[in-house]
Amino acid sequence: MGSSLTGNAIQYISKEFAVNSQVQKALPISMFLVGYVCGPIVWAPLSEEYGRRLIVILTFPLFAVFTMACALAPSWSAFLAFRLLAGMVGSSIVALGPGIISDIYRDPTTRGWSIAVFMGVTGFGPMLGPIVSGFISPAVGWRWSFWVALIFAGVTMIFVLWFPETYQPVLVRIYAPNHFPESQMEDPQPLKHRNRQWKSIFRGVLLRPLHLLFTEPVLAACSMYLALCYSIFYMSFAVFPYIFQEVYSLSPGQCGLVQLTIGAGCALSLPIYWAYERIFLGLVDISSARNKQELYRLPLACLGGPLFVISLFWLGWSSRDDVSFAVPMMAGIPFGIGFMCVFIAILNYITDAYRLYAASANAASSCSRSFFATFLPLASYPMLSHLGIAGACSLLGGA
């Protein structure tokens, strides 16, 4: 939710700080996503060195602090800096989520469903940001959008502080260092820990996500495809307000509600995954197919990809003042379904393929897709102004 919180508040933020450039108006979301580039490549490998719990309980309170700092920002530059820091510490759970699920659920069927639910909630979260800012900013000011986010973070922190350690090598090191021979461990290295020098930790741990990204062609290919989908997803936070406020004259709050159709598509992806698991995976015992279990995750993406493309052409060519706003609005449903099916399939694939280092592999993917999502949305307004709505959406669909 924090990533898109400025979606329908930017006109009020830019007015207070006297920002007129359309490119600069895209910076609050982009700076948050810059944090998503930098954060995962630090938090994920450190969690594989020192455990998941330490990273989670360290970063989440900092996320709350920087969210509060955004609400109190005295200038545009300070506001952007706080958005960057909030994204950096807030990215930890996004990068660690699949790894934590991999720690807890060893059965591939259960793990697959858990990641689907995790992604469904994660995908729906950004839909809430524009709704919160769209209704609160005109009524009581844009700063209250961040106060509401801070309240939400404070309530959530109660559960975060209860979060237990889940990473097996760290659990063994803490509770039973003498009961498990290193040969029985999936990764014996944490048992040796270890007063390693920071230089060694940097070389062997912090560079792990980048090493995987540049030396594993499958991970690189998956990451590039996710990066394209993710970038278009974040471009929608500029495209939807442009369409429904400029063409259909809806209020910022109403525009935020329109984007709920994408959230509805994200939610509908869960019963689709359930059906896929029951029908297709029911024909194959993936628990026994240990060497190929990750391959059975991919067919779901073959459904999601075409739906994602169809939704972009639907949105672009139906957004005209002589067509009811309900028609382009409904394009959000296949958009959300396609986006989530692609992500559920590929994140499950990466998690199954890299198991113990799932957090680092997913961090590599998260880093690359956030990098593209940082810069591609900056092109939203130039594309819309030069190509028009139909042309811009067709270009993205063709990509």
What are the pLDDT digits (tens) for 228-247?
A: 998 998 888 888 888 888 88
**Distance (Å) of CA 379 to CA 22, 63, 224, 232, 384:** 10, 28, 19, 11, 9
For residue 14, the 8-state DSSP code is: H
Query: 183 pLDDT band (50/70/90 cuts)?
Result: very low
Q: What tens digit of pLDDT does each residue of 333-368 get?
A: 999 999 999 999 998 899 888 877 777 888 888 888
Of all residues in the chain, the percent with pLDDT exceeding 70 is 89
pTM: 0.78
Query: 191 pLDDT band (50/70/90 cuts)?
Result: very low
Q: What tens digit of pLDDT does each residue of 197-213 get?
A: 556 655 556 678 888 88
Whether 393 shows a pLDDT value over 70: the answer reads yes
Structure confidence at residue 197 (pLDDT):
56
246, 77 in Cβ contact below 8 A? no
Q: Identify the residue whose tokens are 């699949």.
A: 98
Q: Residues with Cβ < 8 Å from 162, sequence gap 6 or more?
A: none
* Per-chain mean pLDDT for the chain: 84
Neighbouring CB atoms inside 10 A of 148's CB total: 18
Q: Residue ranges of the alpha helices (H) in 76-107?
A: 76-104
Distance CA 119, CA 90 (A): 16
Query: 163 pLDDT band (50/70/90 cuts)?
Result: confident
DSSP string over 297-332: GTHHHHHHHHHHHHHHHHHHHH-STTS-THHHHHTH
What number of residues does the chain have? 399
Axis crossing angle, helix 40-50 with helix 358-375, rounded to the nearest 10:
170
What is the CATH superfamily name and number for domain 2-174+209-398?
Answer: MFS general substrate transporter like domains (1.20.1250.20)
Q: Identify the residue whose tokens are 């998690």.
A: 351
Q: Identify the residue whose tokens are 């990204």.
A: 213
60, 83 in Cβ contact below 8 A? no
